[in-house]
Structure 1
């Protein structure tokens, strides 16, 4: 079996109900992510946390040094788990994520987090392009309502569209229970 790492993408305070940019289903997704973190820890497998922080105080959320930019308490890292700070959608861009994974001999990424239509999508596509095998745990990811050209798109539809696109060519997309049942 390929060596796996769980990648916990941007599960940060601003995405929860009291934050600056709340997502639909953030609590349920974080609960599933916490279950996966516990399983990876119990198995002795690697967990890598990603934390997004914008570089400007003018950002709509994840402002530098804010409580909103901190990892949510449900998914806090342990001292031996790296936290990769990023400033872009793609978690590999201008970070040490790839070197962390390569140094540990990781071949397969299991991705959870936020937002389905941005950073989860970005890391999944980039990881696939780098040659990693990728699994996305769909019920451990969250999104939000979007609007384009006057059309309002509910978060559930945004999430489903992005999971379907990733499943088409970039990743295996499964539920938390399916993943945990296959370990």
Structure 2
């Protein structure tokens, strides 16, 4: 029997106010992620939480042993929840994610989390390559402004550009459209 799983990527304290890498609209994204969690819990469908733990010596956030690396307390994580640690943007790379999805007979992924332009991007592309038919919930993701050379790209524009590109390999919908 095939099924759909919810993937919640890197919803960790460092991305929220007072964190080391606060994101634009992180609180709003969390509220939408909570709605997804409630739906998946009600349907008894799997939820997999991804937790990034930096293993680079010069890491500035998600440092092991800090409060910032912890999954946000607003999530519906329970003691028996599936939590997979990762050290790279792609949640499949050097983790047990693919094996866990196979064990659960998952063939479709609903993807939410942070940062849209990094870990959501890398994981969603890998999910498509593994034929998991990803659906990305646009307003259940968050990002930040980026700079290159003398130019700054505002967070809203980063978000729009990423979500636009994701349409090439996945379905991208708002929380309201997904819940219909």
TM over 0.5: yes
Query: What's the CA shift string for 1:41-71, capped at 9, x where partnerless?
Result: 0110000000001014531100011110000
| Per-residue deviation, 1:3 | 1.0
Query: What's the CA shift string for 1:52-92, capped at 9, x where partnerless?
Result: 01014531100011110000011141223210000000000
Determine if contact 1:4/1:109 at 8 Å carries over to the other structure.
Answer: yes
SS at match of 1:152: strand
Q: Unpaired segments of 5 or more residues in structure 2?
A: none
| Per-residue deviation, 1:2 | 5.1
Could you tell me the TM-score, scaled by structure 1's length? 0.95
Determine if contact 1:57/1:64 at 8 Å carries over to the other structure.
Answer: no
Determine if contact 2:2/2:105 at 8 Å carries over to the other structure.
Answer: no
Residues 128 and 90 (structure 1 numbering): CA distance in 2 closer, same or farther, change over 3 Å? same
Work out the CA distance in 1 between the residues paired with 2:38 and 2:158. 28
Work out the CA distance in 2 between the residues paired with 1:91 and 1:115. 12
Q: Note the 1:134-149 alignment, pairs <5 A.
A: 134-149=134-149
Determine if contact 2:37/2:76 at 8 Å carries over to the other structure.
Answer: no
Work out the CA distance in 2 between the residues paired with 1:108 and 1:2. 8
List 4+ stretches of structure 1 deviating above 3 A. Answer: none
Structure 2 residue aligned with 1:177: 176
Determine if contact 1:57/1:63 at 8 Å carries over to the other structure.
Answer: no
> Number of residue pairs matched?
180
Could you tell me the TM-score, scaled by structure 2's length? 0.97
Is residue 151 of structure 1 aligned with residue 157 of structure 2?
no
SS at match of 1:73: coil
Structure 2 residue aligned with 1:94: 94
SS at match of 1:75: coil
Q: Note the 1:4-23 alignment, pairs <5 A.
A: 4-23=4-23
Q: Unpaired segments of 5 or more residues in structure 1?
A: none
Work out the CA distance in 1 between the residues paired with 2:28 and 2:177. 16
Work out the CA distance in 1 between the residues paired with 2:56 and 2:135. 32
Determine if contact 1:56/1:64 at 8 Å carries over to the other structure.
Answer: no
Structure 2 residue aligned with 1:163: 163
| Per-residue deviation, 1:25 | 0.2
Structure 1 residue aligned with 2:72: 72
